[in-house]
Structure 1
């Protein structure tokens, strides 16, 4: 029995680092809540493994170059898990906490004086667990985890004068910030919270709610190139196709990376990979598949306007073999007309196609738009907007109307 299919973990970490020249040494601990619940794949055995929490302690060593850190880590961990086995004539369930060894590696980037983001891979090797049933069922509980995180550093490592806050800003700075906030590959750190409310979804005409937390972090490779990281973490309330109820939880997480020139011409562009991990905590909230594909952004900024398009296509390359394959296209054209005092008019419909669906059920094409404003709360820039869309083309059961509201915290890169 295999208890290590992909699901979602989330938690907190703390640690201490010491830097000597280009070398970094440190120790860190993590505690994560886990939501793994997987039926065994080899029929006819019926069984389920649940992981409840994961704790790790590890030392790490890394190489620092400007804002970048490449690191490796080694340590140990604890996992609390339970299992249920239902065999012909026998049933068993149990809970245990086991220890194992941990090895991992990753990259970390300092996007502000006190803030870093990181992406790492960890392998946690645990002893096998066997059920006391006859026949005995082997539980392989080794974990492989890909984790993204954000860290606050109590010491920035920058000179005091570099950290001095700048309270004044010119009108031209606000105009530039307004346009940057509308450009998905601008040199601007942002944390949008985007609510998508889809009305009359499914056979019972219930409301689907998707709250996307989608941090955008530009990373400077050198004087000529940036890599822009765009993550989408969906929190979903999904209507059931079978019952008059909703299922709530986290959906599949999507990560895009755009390589973009620091000094573009009139056409601003970015290209790179996009991938989606099956992190949904319930089958109805995700595809159950690993997805990967190309993505691109094209942007032009004539006076008062920000116009462009975001494109991607993803194919399933792994995941639960019992779930159907995926071949999905997305296009998001956007146009923003900027007015005085931070106000703007905009449209950014999300057009999708399921290439594996029947010919009349492939496309979702919305039309609509809305209004927004870039303003400041104290010294914190904020971008807020509201838009409404009507799906002129949609598959059976899809909503006709949707409402999109967004609030984004903006952190200009100095």
Structure 2
């Protein structure tokens, strides 16, 4: 009997250790924009003090799948999608409430399968499709442009930057042209057991209006095992507008749940 109990206790300790090592490896891969870890984040952000009167709000649920495809022995193709479902409340002077899909932004990045150092990089293209179900929820234009990313990775932290630029080339003629740069520097520090703190900027430059918007997001995330073969990520954070136009959201909250494949 004692032998059986010791075996069971040892098995539990070993299993917990394996799970801990596994989630730490997953947390490291999750932080890299170039990793082969497939995941499907669902990100919900509630933005407050939106619009010229600062009395509006925008609730955004973004579907952000990250998928990697082997392109032979030397290269991987990383697909990163962003499809928002939006609810606007008094965000525009001429509209009280709007709900529906926003525009899809799709990025394809080609990255070396085996980086030679702790630095990794990727280059490719970004596209925007007018998938919005309402005029207030999208730009009504097709757009495309270059995309790049760079990351540096250590055992406990990862930092880097993702960027792309979009120019419109087709779409509704009565809508404004798109000339947008997205620049996202990030820093991820891992505490172990799948836990991490994240700081990033989701900066956007509007070339048509010649102005920057710099929201900063500070968040905490935890990757955990809910079975012997399945893991997920859960995170929450705070968003604050460092600088930007008057109608931009001043602050907000964010939660994220990610399926890991």
Fold in common (TM above 0.5): yes
> Which runs of 5 or more residues in structure 1 are unaligned?
1-166
Corresponding position: 1:335 with 2:187 = yes
Conservation of the 8 A alpha-carbon contact between 2:189 and 2:196: yes
Q: CA deviation at 1:170?
A: 5.4
Number of equivalences:
242
Query: Take 2:34 and 2:155, find their aligned partners in 1: how far apart are those partners?
Result: 18
Per the alignment, residue 248 of structure 1 pairs with 99
Equivalent in the alignment of 1:318 = 170
Could you tell me how far 1:243 is from its partner in structure 2? Answer: 4.5
Which of 55, 60, 69 is 1:219 aligned to? Answer: 69
| 1:285 maps onto 2:137 in alignment | yes
The RMSD of aligned alpha carbons is: 1.7
Q: Which runs of 5+ in 2 are unaligned?
A: 1-14
Q: In the alignment, which residue of structure 1 is the partner of 2:30?
A: 181
Aligned position for 1:114: none
Alignment partner of 1:372 is 2:224: no
Is the Cα contact below 8 Å between 1:382 and 1:407 reproduced in 2? yes
Larger Rg: 1
Work out whether residues 107 and 147 of structure 2, in 8 Å CA contact, stay in contact via their aligned partners in 1: yes
Contact 1:252 1:287 in 2 (8 A): yes
Q: Is the 8 A contact 1:347 1:369 kept in 2?
A: yes
Alignment deviations for residues 167-221 of structure 1 (CA, whole Å, 9 cap, x no partner):
9945433221111111122101100001121101113612101111011110011
For residues 100-139 of structure 1, the C-alpha deviation after alignment (integer angstroms, 9 at most, x for no partner) is xxxxxxxxxxxxxxxxxxxxxxxxxxxxxxxxxxxxxxxx
CA distance in 1, matches of 2:71, 2:171: 32
Provide the secondary structure at the position in 2 that maps to 1:339. strand
Does the Cα contact within 8 Å between 2:68 and 2:76 map onto a contact in 1? yes
Q: Distance in 2 between matches of 1:271 and 1:377?
A: 35
TM-score normalised over the length of structure 1: 0.56
Q: 1:198 aligns with which of 25, 39, 47?
A: 47
Q: Which moved more, 1:201-210 or 1:177-186?
A: 201-210
Could you say which structure has the greater relative contact order, defined with CA pairs below 8 angstroms and 6 or more residues apart? 2
Q: What are the residue-to-residue correspondences of 1:3-402 with 2, within 5 Å?
A: 169=18, 171-202=20-51, 203=53, 205-239=55-89, 240-243=91-94, 245-265=96-116, 266-357=118-209, 359=210, 362-378=211-227, 379-402=229-252
Distance across 1 between alignment mates of 2:76 and 2:39: 16
Contact 2:66–2:80 (8 Å) recurs in 1: yes
Q: Given the two structures, how large is their TM-score scaled by the length of structure 2? A: 0.88
